[in-house]
Every structure is written in C-alpha cells, then in structure tokens.
Amino acid sequence: MADAKKPATSAPEVAQKHVQDIMSATVKTITGDMTVREAIKVLIENKISGAPLMDGLHGILSVVTQGDLLMLAAVVGLDKTLGTCTKHLPATGKVVTLSRKDTVADAYKKFLSSKLHRLIVVDDTGKLQGIVSRSDILKHLYLGSAKEE
C-alpha cells in the first residue's frame, strides 16, 4: 500500500515559491573587453555553461553560452574581444529575465517556452540580481522532497 505521508515540499509548493528563494545570487559574468579565450576560461574554471555579458555600467548585453563561444572561436578566433563580436551573439532584447518576486512557476513556464537553460534575475532598473537555471529548480524539487525520507 502506498505511503499516505505528504512530502515536506511538493512540486506545487515549490512552484509558488519566489525566484529569490532558489536563485544563485553570486553570478559569474563576462565583459566586452574579455577575449573569447578569457571568456572560455571563465566558464571552464567556474564549471558553468553560460554567463551574462555585461557592459561597463552593469547592464546586461547578452548571455554567452559554451555554444556561442565555440562558434566565436571558429568565426573570429580566440583573441577577439567579445565587444567586437556582439553581432554574433543574442541581442539584449532576446535575454529572458525574471524579477526576484516572480514565482518558480513563472520561471518554469519560461523554460518550457524556450530552449534556454538559464534565466537572468534583474531588478526594476535592469541590474543583475542573480540567475536561475533549470538545475536550480530541479535541485530545489529534489532537496525539498528528500526532507521526507
């Protein structure tokens, strides 16, 4: 017979939590003055698959992924700066963002409607606050349900 005990955290409960509850507040970023090689180093050393590309005023220009860097390495080489390669990267308008107060369900819906693996969390002025990845949501679901065991 199935155990009737309710999990400590169920998927619907997690969905109602706010993005700020599951986001990573410490975000590794890259800048336009970095070379393709330096950006690759940031991803490798931090074991991440993508990072926001920031301008000098802390605004988000794009999100650069491993795939983007592979393409840039092939098209422009390793020694070009990212600032000179922006025409090859996703435009700022294509960066998908959330606010801290959005729910995890809001993030989940954005993941379902795109092929993105990370969403950028910004404040009302567009400044970087954090990042939420698909794995952040999965970890929260898993760790919440693990409490019942």
Instruction: Give the tens place of pLDDT for each residue, 49-94.
Output: 999 999 877 788 889 999 999 999 999 999 999 999 888 887 766 7
Sequence-distant (≥ 6) Cβ neighbours of residue 125 within 8 angstroms: none
Burial 116-139 (b: 16+ CB within 10 A, else e): bebbbbbeeeeebbbbbbeebbee
**Of 14-23, 64-73, 101-110, highest mean pLDDT:** 64-73
The domains found in the chain, sorted by start residue, are 11-146 (3.10.580.10)
**Mean pLDDT of all residues in the chain?**
84
Lowest-pLDDT choice from 13-17, 49-53, 137-141: 13-17
Pick from 64, 62, 135, 54: nearest CA to 94? 62
Residue 1: the pLDDT is 44
Residues in the chain: 149
Tokens 């800048």 -> residue: 31
Model confidence at 99: pLDDT above 90 = yes
DSSP state of 24: B
